[in-house]
Amino acid sequence: GVSMVAWTVDISLDLHELLPLVGADCEMTKMSEDESFQRYMKLLDAVQRWVAGGASGVAPALASVPFLVPLDISRVPWTEPQAQKKLNIFLKCMSKSYMDGGWSSIFEDRGVARARWLFSFAEPLQASYAFGSQLGNISEAMQEHQSGSGDRAVVMLGTQAL
């Protein structure tokens, strides 16, 4: 048989457009005013509530395995000033609940498998792409905001078909 180990949805935020909206901390930001961010958060919340019904829900096989929160890291504007700092703040604020001053309930402990990040990197065919540097940047960001419960992530690298 097949064992379910995780699940996700195929959407991601456009960090190229959104990181400039990140402020100095979770409260000092314009992220929550962005319409695409609001829609993204509503969709992820709805999908998680849909699955969270457990055995009585519509997808009981998904209720006991981690939800992978998709984020396309290749869209981070690394050449922009403060890109690494803003990514660190973004990850911290997304990982904190509303009650703790964060932006989402995605990573809240719901008595089942805890959500994890799914960091994707779309590698262009040209050889100059700095995947190693970007992976190092995201690793630094994860260490920066890691909670006592031990945040984990899945990394996915893809490229265009030849």
Q: What DSSP string runs through 63-85?
A: HTS-EEEEEEGGGS-TTSTTHHH
Looking at residue 97, its pLDDT comes to: 82
Q: Give the per-residue pLDDT at 148.
A: 44
Largest CA distance in the chain: 50
pLDDT (tens digit per residue) in 108-159: 776 667 788 888 877 665 655 566 777 777 777 777 665 544 567 777 767 6
pLDDT for res 57: 63
pLDDT attached to residue 159: 64
Give the C-alpha separation, 110 to 106, whole Å.
10
**pTM of the entire predicted model:** 0.80
pLDDT digits (tens, 9 = 90+) for 4-37: 888 888 888 888 889 989 988 888 788 888 898 9
What are the percentages of helix, strand and coil residues in the chain, rounded to 5?
A: 40, 15, 45
φ, ψ (nearest 5 deg) of residue 74: -65, -10
pLDDT of residue 149: 46
3-state secondary structure of 90: helix
